Structures are given as structure tokens and as C-alpha cells.
């Protein structure tokens, strides 16, 4: 199908839809522009220019300028075509949509650089492999709130490639990796296993150190596994204690012991079940986690915390 034929087909589909909606009494060619304008301004604030928005949505530059600024002395539009509104509201730029030089939110890049430090990667070693910018630039990426899209993509791709293993597996000297981990521990940075790949770029997301962070169960898992407690688990445990202040002391102690016991056993059992399942099916960690109803990060943590007993290895 040629471009002209595709355009005619699109127009015909729109005309048919318009006639159908008119027949149902549901035809609304225009809608309120305010929420659409707010959404487009948020996209612009994220580092994307109007030309890129046009490229990825197909809404004309004239329509966007009228929406945001008005034209010919008129104020910004009060109404916008429903079709354009739906297209714009459905779009939020992915990292690959930004131009190389666009300055974007650095949350995901900062978290990835910190997680790589936990895995034993010094910033200098990352710079040598990515080979963009200077070594000091990569050192500062651990703290930066804004980065260029080019750097963000380079760090993302490198992280996706190496984060499943330690730095030593890729040839980083052990003393150098140990120094990086000591530095990361001092600042309580979260490692790759604590981050969900789907939410690591979300400023509102939190690392999940235990697979249950934000709950009393998570607080016990922090404590049992000698992981420094995170603020969300501290708050959840304090709330759990407060809810049971009215209970008689023996009952309160019984519930505390039960909560601790549940956290002590579940991780080891999960790791054992996962290894058995992987042996039988040949699946990897991701598929096994899905079968067991837990996140990949959670299962990966438990496998690290509960290594396979020597008796099982010998068998």
C-alpha cells in the first residue's frame, strides 16, 4: 500500500467512525484542552522539544503551538480535537525518543551507577568500557539529578549487559571491586537485585532490598539477613508494633515470634524450591520467579542469601 493509499484509508476509517458516533449521539469532535496542555508541558519539561513530540505523535506543530501558546494574538486553545487529545495523552517519551543532547531526569542513571558500584564496578572501569565523556563525568553520574540522553542510554545499555553478574566476572580486579563495594555500603546504595527493571527510572519507586520492603515482614528480613533497614520497613514495623500495644504481653510476644519465624524460613524455602524447579525444567531465574509468583529481583536475592548446601552440591 502506497502512502497516498494509507492516508485515504485512514481518512475513510475516521469518516466511518464519525458517522457511527453521530448516529449514536456520541460525537464529540472537541474536548477540554487544559489537561492535554498540562501533559504536553510535562513532556517538554522532561527534556523533549516540540519537534520531537511532533515526530513521535504525528500531531502538527501548528496544533501544538496553538495548544500551548495561542496564535495571532489569541490565548492558548480552550478546546482541542478529541483525536489529537487522545494521541497526546497516550504518549510519554521513552529514553530512546530523546535527542542525544537532551537534558533529562537523571534518576535512572544515578540508580544504575550506584547499583553497579554495589556489584563491584568502579566508575573508572565503567568509563573505560563505555568510552563516552571523561572519567570524572562517570564519577559524578552517581549523584547527578540531570544527565544527557546520550549518557543515560549508554549507562542503561551497559547496566543491562553486566548487572546480572559481579564486576570480577568481567575482569575487574578483586581489590578494586572490593573498594567500590565498601564505598557503596557506606552510602547504603541499592544493588541490581533490589531494583525492578520496569521501575528503576521512576522517581517515585523505591529499592526492594528484601522482596517485601514496606512491610513488617520486610523489616524482619532486613534484621535476620543483616541488611541495614530501609525507612519504609522501619515505618511499617513501628506501625505493626503500635497496632498491637493493646494486646496482653504474652500474645504480643507470640505474634512477634511468629513474624520473625515466618521471615526466617520463607527465604530458604523459596531458594530451595527455585533450585529444584530450575533443575527439573531448565528454566532461568526470570521464568522460575514467574512460576513461583515472586519478582525476579526477590528470587535473585534469596538465591544469594541462601546458597546451595554442600551436601546438595555433592549429590
Higher pLDDT, 175 or 134: 175
CA angle centred on 217, ends 200 and 190, rounded to 5°: 30
pLDDT in tens, 67-100: 888 877 778 888 888 888 888 988 899 999 999 9
What is the rounded distance in angstroms from the CA atom of residue 225 to the CA atom of residue 221?
6
pLDDT in tens, 218-227: 888 888 777 7
Cβ–Cβ under 8 Å, residues 43 and 93: yes
Share of the chain above pLDDT 90, in %: 30
| Mean pLDDT along residues 123-144 | 88
**Most trustworthy range by pLDDT among 35-44, 215-224, 266-275:** 35-44
| Mean pLDDT along residues 136-157 | 92
Report residue 161's pLDDT band, with 50, 70 and 90 as the boundaries: very high
In the prediction, which pLDDT does 11 show?
61
In the prediction, which pLDDT does 273 show?
83
| 12 HSE (CA, 13 A, CB side) | 6
| Mean pLDDT along residues 117-123 | 93
SS3 41: helix
Look at residue 41 and tell me whether its pLDDT is greater than 90. yes
Mean pLDDT lowest for which of 37-46, 52-61, 217-226?
217-226
Look at residue 115 and tell me whether its pLDDT is greater than 90. yes
Look at residue 7 and tell me whether its pLDDT is greater than 60. no
In the prediction, which pLDDT does 133 show?
79
In the prediction, which pLDDT does 4 show?
58
In the prediction, which pLDDT does 314 show?
44
Q: What is the DSSP string of 58-113?
A: ---HHHHHHHHH-STTPPSPSEEEHHHHHHHHT----GGGS-TT-EEE-HHHHHHH
Look at residue 14 and tell me whether its pLDDT is greater than 70. no
Look at residue 311 and tell me whether its pLDDT is greater than 50. no
Look at residue 312 and tell me whether its pLDDT is greater than 70. no
Helix (H) or strand (E) holding 147: strand 146-148
In the prediction, which pLDDT does 291 show?
85
Mean pLDDT lowest for which of 16-20, 162-166, 185-189, 307-311?
307-311
Amino acid at each position: 500500500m502506497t502512502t497516498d493509499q494509507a492516508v485515504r484509508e485512514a481518512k475513510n476509517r475516521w469518516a466511518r467512525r464519525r458517522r457511527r458516533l453521530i448516529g449514536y449521539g456520541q460525537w464529540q469532535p472537541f474536548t477540554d484542552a487544559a489537561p492535554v496542555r498540562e501533559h504536553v508541558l510535562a513532556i517538554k519539561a522532561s527534556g523533549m522539544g516540540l519537534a520531537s513530540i511532533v515526530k513521535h505523535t504525528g500531531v502538527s506543530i501548528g496544533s501544538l503551538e496553538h495548544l500551548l501558546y495561542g496564535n495571532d494574538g489569541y490565548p492558548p486553545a480552550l478546546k482541542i480535537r478529541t483525536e489529537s487529545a487522545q494521541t497526546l495523552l497516550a504518549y510519554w517519551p521513552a529514553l530512546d525518543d530523546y535527542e542525544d543532547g537532551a537534558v533529562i531526569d537523571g534518576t535512572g542513571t544515578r540508580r544504575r551507577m550506584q547499583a553497579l558500584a554495589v556489584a563491584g564496578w568502579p566508575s573508572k572501569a565503567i568509563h573505560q568500557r563505555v568510552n563516552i565523556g571523561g572519567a570524572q563525568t562517570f564519577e559524578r553520574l552517581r549523584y547527578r539529578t540531570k544527565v544527557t540522553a546520550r549518557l543515560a542510554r549508554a549507562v542503561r545499555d551497559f547496566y543491562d549487559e553486566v548487572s546480572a553478574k559481579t564486576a570480577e566476572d568481567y575482569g575487574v580486579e578483586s581489590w578494586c571491586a572490593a573498594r567500590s563495594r565498601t564505598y557503596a555500603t557506606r552510602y547504603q546504595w541499592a544493588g541490581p537485585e533490589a531494583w525492578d527493571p520496569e521501575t528503576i527510572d521512576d522517581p517515585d519507586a523505591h529499592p526492594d532490598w528484601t522482596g517485601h520492603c514496606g512491610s513488617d515482614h520486610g523489616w524482619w528480613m532486613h534484621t535476620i539477613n543483616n541488611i541495614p533497614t530501609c525507612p519504609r520497613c522501619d515505618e511499617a514495623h513501628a506501625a505493626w508494633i503500635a497496632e498491637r500495644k493493646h494486646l496482653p504481653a504474652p500474645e504480643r510476644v507470640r505474634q512477634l515470634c511468629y513474624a520473625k519465624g515466618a521471615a526466617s524460613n520463607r527465604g530458604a524455602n523459596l531458594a530451595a524450591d527455585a533450585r529444584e524447579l530450575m533443575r527439573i525444567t531448565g528454566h532461568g531465574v526470570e521464568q522460575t520467579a514467574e512460576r513461583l509468583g515472586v519478582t525476579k529481583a526477590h528470587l535473585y536475592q534469596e538465591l544469594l542469601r541462601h546458597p546451595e548446601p554442600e551436601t546438595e552440591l555433592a549429590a
